[in-house]
């Protein structure tokens, strides 16, 4: 996993690795890593794997990706809400595992880095299976 640990730069400066996620998925106009980048990272990973991507920087765009599943497997997509369940804001990443109360997600822009972090299941909007 070559991207694990890639981190955005706080304050002045930008990490070219993070900017690559935007540029290579068609968002060349993004010039800093202060722009929310979880969807850019997820789209970049899908593109590198030869899969279609959403073409959007909105995490919630992944709610329309692939097909819904109630029994996610490692590598499926997870979408959670940010702010409020009915807001436009969200977060998306790859499903790793779950417990009764949490979902472990591998994603970009998690604490400003590519890491695995546990999120509360109460924030779940949906699991999506990636199609061939």
Q: What is the distance between the alpha carbons of residues 37 and 109, in angstroms, rounded to a whole number?
A: 6
- Chain CA centroid to CA 28, Å: 18
Q: Which domains does the chain have, with CATH numbers?
A: 16-129 (3.90.1720)
> Using one digit for the tens of pLDDT, what is the confidence trace for 42-59?
999 999 999 999 999 999
> Using one digit for the tens of pLDDT, what is the confidence trace for 4-45?
999 999 888 899 999 999 999 999 999 999 999 999 999 999
- Above 60 in pLDDT, residue 1? no
Task: Provide the CB-side half-sphere exposure for 88 (13 A, CA).
Answer: 3
pLDDT at 7: 94
Helix, strand and coil in the chain, % to nearest 5: 20, 30, 50
Say which residues have a Cβ less than 8 Å from residue 93's Cβ, sequence separation at least 6: 38, 41, 42, 77, 78, 105, 106, 107, 108, 110
Average pLDDT of the chain? Answer: 95
| Residue whose C-alpha is closest to residue 4's, from 84, 83, 120, 111 | 111
- Above 70 in pLDDT, residue 83? yes
| Residue whose C-alpha is closest to residue 52's, from 105, 121, 128 | 128
Structure tokens at 34: 């202060």
């Amino acid at each position: 996993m070559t991207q694990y640990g890639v981190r955005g730069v706080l304050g002045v400066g930008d990490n070219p690795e993070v900017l690559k996620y935007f540029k290579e998925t068609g968002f060349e106009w993004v010039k800093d890593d202060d722009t929310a980048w979880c969807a850019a990272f997820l789209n970049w990973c899908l593109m590198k794997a030869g899969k279609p991507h959403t073409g959007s920087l909105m995490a919630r765009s992944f709610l329309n990706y692939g097909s819904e599943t109630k029994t996610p497997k490692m590598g499926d997509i997870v979408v959670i809400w940010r702010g409020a369940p009915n807001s436009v804001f969200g977060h998306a990443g790859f499903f790793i595992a779950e417990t009764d109360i949490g979902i472990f997600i591998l994603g970009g822009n998690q604490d400003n880095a590519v890491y695995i972090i546990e999120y509360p299941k109460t924030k779940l909007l949906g699991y999506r299976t990636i199609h061939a």
